Amino acid sequence: MRLLLKSIIFLVLSILTQIGGLVYISNDYLIKRAKINRTPLVFLSFIFLYGLTTFLIVPPLASLFGREKIKNSDRIQPTNYATIILNRNYVVPEINRILKNSEGYLKTSGLKIKYLDAGFPFLKYFPLLPHLSHHDGRKLDLSLVYSDAHGNLSNDKKSRSGYGAFEGPSSGENDQISTCLKQGFSQYDYPKYLTFGTVNTHLLFSEDYTKDLITSLLKNKEITKIFIEPHLKNRMMLTDSRIKYHGCRAVRHDDHIHIQI
Ligand SMILES: [Zn+2]
């Protein structure tokens, strides 16, 4: 039972953070050698070791794998800091250059680029679940942009995790979500379970500011694909051929924008 429990903890930590499982095993080894067996001390020791690894050891090692952390600035920030703590903020340097360019294009608007899951620091095909394709540092999810009832820009978001607060189709718009669900792709809707609570419910999806964000990204020719739900693409009157439909096997993209190079 003990081994089974340890295996499950190892697996969950590896899925969530890539390195967490290894840190867990290392911590287990160290506390045994130090003859520590009180649960709070074991837990504290894990937190210390995880923090040390995540913030001091992983970044220089990741550069050997051609990855680096997303470079935060006044206007490039994670929607939720858990993205950073869980090591889900690693990209190839090109993505950082794109974000910096876009930040420059958006300089006058006050809009902040809020990012979600990117990639893990190591290995090319290590999956970043639940995403299908975030395994090489060349993909990044970004939050939609919102405004208040008067149309004033807000940099706040509607979901704690950044995922699952949908801007669904209005009547008369292309309802790809119903189409996929009717075809039996029930996972299409699953991000609704990933919000960790909705917040700022007064905010409204801003067509104008989200379009500004996407347009600033498209100025970077390195971007090969952007995924967003078709009804939002049409609503924002975006026509660039790099804005593609991701298909029913993915999940709905009316809660975030996916970019890739
Ligand atoms: Zn994505």
- The whole-number pLDDT of residue 107 equals 85
Q: Secondary structure of the chain: what % helix, strand, coil (to 5)?
A: 40, 15, 45
Q: What is the pLDDT of residues 90-133, one digit of tens each?
A: 999 999 999 999 999 998 889 999 999 999 999 888 888 888 79
Cα 149 to ligand 1 centre (Å): 29
**CA-based diameter of the chain, in Å?**
67
CA of 202 to the centre of ligand 1 (A): 26
What does the alpha-carbon distance between residue 244 and residue 128 come to, in Å, rounded to a whole number?
A: 21
pLDDT tens by residue, 45-101: 999 999 999 999 999 999 999 999 999 999 999 999 999 999 999 999 999 999 999
CA of 199 relative to ligand 1 center, distance in Å: 22
Task: Measure 201 CA to ligand 1 centroid, in angstroms.
Answer: 24
Looking at residues 212-236, what average pLDDT do you find? Answer: 96
Distance 181 CA to ligand 1 centre (A): 20
167 C-alpha to center of ligand 1: Å? Answer: 17
Q: Which of 27-31, 169-173, 255-259 has the highest mean pLDDT?
A: 255-259
- Dist. CA 35 → ligand 1 center (Å): 44
Centre of ligand 1 from the C-alpha of residue 188, in Å: 13
Ligand 1 center to residue 258 CA distance, Å?
4
- The rounded mean pLDDT for the chain is 94
Domain boundaries, the chain: 2-64, 68-260
CATH class of 68-260: alpha beta
Question: Comparing C-alpha atoms, which of 144, 158, 140 is closest to residue 224?
Answer: 140
